Amino acid sequence: MSAHEQMRAMLDQLMGTSRNGETDKHGVKFYDDSVCKSFLLQCCPHEILSSTRMDLGECPKIHDLALRADYELASKTKDYYYDIDATEHLEAFIQDCDRRTTAAKQRLAETQEELSAEVTEKANSVHELAEQIGQKLARAEALGEEGMVEESVKLMGEIDELRKRKAVAEQEYRNSMPASSYQQQKLRVCEVCSAYLGIHDNDRRLADHFGGKLHLGFITIREKLAELKKTVEKRREDRGAERERSSGGRRHYVGGRELDRRARRHREVPRERKDERERTDRERGERERDRGRDREREREKKRSRSRSKTRRESREKSRGRDRDARRSRSYRSTSRERRRE
């Protein structure tokens, strides 16, 4: 993205679609069905996981920073209940991710060598310590980049203690099984993002995983979902009560779903009129074709009658010539007989 495009995006985000008297480039409002409500709340998985191993591609709905700015401004005076839509969206996404995690665990159980309960417990202990080291190392590096040196140094001290505990746990795990089996990579599935982690992965690899965009993106999504779930039931009740109050009097815009329906209806009215015109034109065309076929059939009947009359007259003329010819032959024959007498 060029510097000009970045500046334009920043202005859209700050001022919305109405800056400089412009209209939004998509020709829609933030409450239209085609706009991603999760994006308006900054929690769309398509945006959070972009450019990662699990990139979901472009969101099927519109993402526009100017529309987000419009929503943030409008939400100060009206409640649109888009957090309910976002909760449903994130719940469906996380459920799909959890199903992949369960399937990955099942595949590992079927393909990896089965260990005894004691050995499995020791392997899990190594995994947990390794994950703690990777998480703290990624956090320490992030704090160092932010200039929080003291906090970063404190975390590095905790990491050293965890490394000592991990070394002891690895020795216990190694002594509990044959050397040939120990060399095999024992995998584990990350509960957050469903990625595979190996028991022999070094600290650098684990830090890259836990500090990577994919893992942090899933943490962001899960934390946002947990936050929304705390109030979603109460919010659904509030929205239902507001709809009941609005239905008792004059109808007006009462929330995101109602705005979506109104906007959709406004778009559908001209479409219905267009469909009606097309249907009328189609019926008129069919009537014209029917009349044309009727006229053609009538002309064909006339031509058929004319041909029949012509054939009939021709046959009558032919029969008249035959009679004249027979009479002429009979007269000549009679004349010859009389001359012979």
* pLDDT tens sequence across 107-147: 888 777 666 677 778 888 888 888 888 888 888 888 888 88
C-alpha torsion sign, points 27, 29, 35, 39: positive
Q: Which of 34-38, 151-155, 222-226, 311-315 has the lowest mean pLDDT?
A: 311-315
Q: Indicate the pLDDT class of residue 252, thresholds 50, 70 and 90.
A: very low
pTM more than 0.75: no
Q: Give the closest residue to 86 by CA, choosing from 38, 30, 34, 31.
A: 38
Residue with the larger pLDDT of the pair 272 and 141: 141
Query: What is the structure's pLDDT at 266?
Result: 57
The whole-chain average pLDDT of the chain stands at 80
Quick check: 30 and 71 in contact, CB under 8 A?
yes
Give residue for tokens 């990777």: 134
Let me know: does 211 contact 142? Beta carbons within 8 Å: yes
Nearest of 201, 75, 203 to residue 139 by alpha carbon: 203
Q: Is the pLDDT of residue 251 over 50?
A: no
Give the tokens for residue 255: 């929330």
Q: From CA 120, how far away is CA 23, in angstroms rounded?
A: 61
Would the pLDDT of 254 be above 60? no
173 or 268: which leads in pLDDT: 173
Q: What average pLDDT does this structure show over 255-280? A: 62
- CB distance 186 to 124 below 8 Å: no
pLDDT of 45 > 70? The answer is: yes
How far is 175 from 132, CA to CA, in rounded Å? 23
Higher pLDDT pick, 6 / 214: 214
